[in-house]
Amino acid sequence: MAPAPSHCHATNGNNGAIAAADTPVKTQHCARLLDADEFRRQGRLVVDLIADYYAGMGEYPVHPTVSPGFLRHRLPAEPPSRRETDAFAAAMQDVRDVILPGLTHWQSPRHFAHFPASSSTAGALGEALAAGINVVPFTWAASPAATELEMVVVDWLGKALHLPERLLFAGGGGGTILGTTCEAILCALVAARDRKLAAIGEERIGDLVVYCSDQTHFAFCKAARIAGIRREHCREIPTCRDDAFALSPAALRTAMRRDADAGLVPLFVCATVGTTQTTAVDPVGELCAAAAPHGAWVHVDAAYAGSALVCPELRGAVAGGVEAVDSFSMNAHKWLLANNDCCVMWVRTPSALVAALGTDQEYILKDAAAETAAADGGAAVVDYKDWGITLTRRFRALKLWLVLRCYGVEGLREHVRSHVGMAAAFEGMVRADARFEVVTPRRFALVCFRLRSPNKKTANELNRRLLEEVNAASSGPYMSSANVGGVYMLRCAVGSTLTEERHVREAWKVVQDRATSILAKMDIIM
């Protein structure tokens, strides 16, 4: 067995100080940890494993049939005490044999349960490149090119999505790349909170009220609690099927007026473009008009559907509404091939973010020359540590830049359009079978449907059973459900990079067959 790895430094057992100079320190091992030749050898193993994984994706059931604790029983309880011989190759074999069979395969062409976590060659390799370079761009000086590439690429993407210029650096706003929508909402909410409290007094934090619909992602109410908003001051306004489950401007206006009359302070509205359950689209422009008299911040959560704005024919979902918003976020890792994680947020007034999230302490990597140049009228220095929650940041801009470079805006449009087209085809199949109904209008690449039942009291249970049987099929597909307005429905979200038309047709065939079987058992003839 190989000897135990040496540590790169020694400490004095008495006080933790660095050992005396005559204490031997084995630096040769430290150098091997980033040995170029070893990196090439092991890197090929990783690339081969990933390539084989995608090539053989059809062999895996989309969702594994495992029980909690299954993996702990197959792996040792203790970590290795010594370096194994050819440990990396052995670990890669464990990935193949032990880990992959226990995953839900989000890249499977038969995964229709969730909005996509899209992958691409450029996105995956960009992620690997960022990990290998491994810089920490928390300030401009800490890595100037990383900071400035992020500024360039968020403007590139904003232009591709046709966002208002006032949200871009080019128009006085600006953007940043965060990990998730949860971070984006929290950052925007904290900026709005501090801006409002600066005007009315910090002691009134208990009077602040935030607004969303009952279809808004739960991340919003969670962010509100983290930001210090009282639980009872998070207003979830009911929606209805007649309005396609969109947030009603009239209902928002009434709620805000009622709170203001009661001495409370309307603070923040979270509008959604493409809700999680049904892809409902809130009327952004009208919501901005309702919020304006109260000076409330309006944020647009377009985590999933924001990607669709690359297609001119899909921009009508938010046409004329985004110009007045204070912030806008979308996940490029959901549908724009950027791989997890890559949430982009734009703000109209970056100074509000910096005022709330900035730090005043001097850092050793502050660049005095750059600060002086900016003060003298040169390019502004952006320290992204002041735009988000974390100080340590990953070089996410690199993979997004690679995706845009390698595929171009037209390539991204083709990608989105292909999924929208397949979803439209699935919707047509559902409508062609009189046993089924499409519950909500399809806007993007999600189809919400259900099996009709002559007994409305048992309709939800019938569809729960249908979903269970569809997902139990060994060949897939894997779908999910929503329960909106008391109506239980199945969700078919087309979005995997590997999905083709045949996978959609096969998925529908499974749904039809399982429905036929269930109805036969119930002695229902339709």
Output the pLDDT for position 25.
Answer: 58
* Centroid of chain to Cα 278: 17
Determine the 3-state secondary structure of 124 from DSSP: helix
Q: For residue 188, what are the contacts with CB-CB under 8 A and spacing of at least 6?
A: 268, 297, 299, 326, 327, 329, 345, 347, 353
What was the pLDDT predicted at 100? Answer: 95
Cβ contact 211:256 at 8 Å: yes
- Distance from C-alpha of 103 to C-alpha of 303, rounded to nearest angstrom: 24
CA 494, CA 176: separation in Å to the nearest integer? 28
Coil, helix or strand for 236?
Answer: strand
Q: What are the backbone dihedrals phi and psi of residue 300, each rounded to the nearest 5 degrees, phi first?
A: -105, 120
Q: What is the spatial distance between Cα 45 and Cα 41, in angstroms, rounded to a whole number?
A: 7
pLDDT of residue 1: 40
Please give the pLDDT value at position 524: 52
Q: C-alpha 378: how far from its chain's center? A: 35
Give the largest CA-CA distance in the chain: 89
Predicted pLDDT of residue 14: 46
Residue 503 has a pLDDT of 97
The dihedrals phi and psi of 179, each to the nearest 5 degrees, come to -80, -50
Strands 234-237 and 174-178: unpaired
The model's pTM: 0.91
pLDDT of residue 364: 60
Mean pLDDT by 10 residues, the chain (526 residues): 40 45 58 87 96 92 92 91 90 95 95 95 96 94 95 98 96 97 97 98 97 97 96 97 94 98 98 96 96 98 97 84 94 96 97 92 62 61 93 95 98 98 98 96 96 88 96 90 95 97 97 94 64
**Are 177 and 343 contacting, i.e. CB atoms less than 8 angstroms apart?**
yes
Domains identified in the chain and CATH numbers: 125-360+377-404 (3.40.640.10)
> How is the beta sheet containing 174-178 ordered, strand by strand?
174-178, 343-347, 327-331, 297-301, 265-272, 208-213, 234-237
Q: What is the 3-state secondary structure (H, E, C) of 337-357?
A: CCCCCCEEEEECCHHHHHHHH
Which pLDDT value is given to residue 169?
96
Task: Identify the pLDDT of residue 476.
Answer: 82
The Cα 523–Cα 526 span in angstroms is 10
Note the pLDDT of residue 362: 63
Identity of the residue numbered 338: A
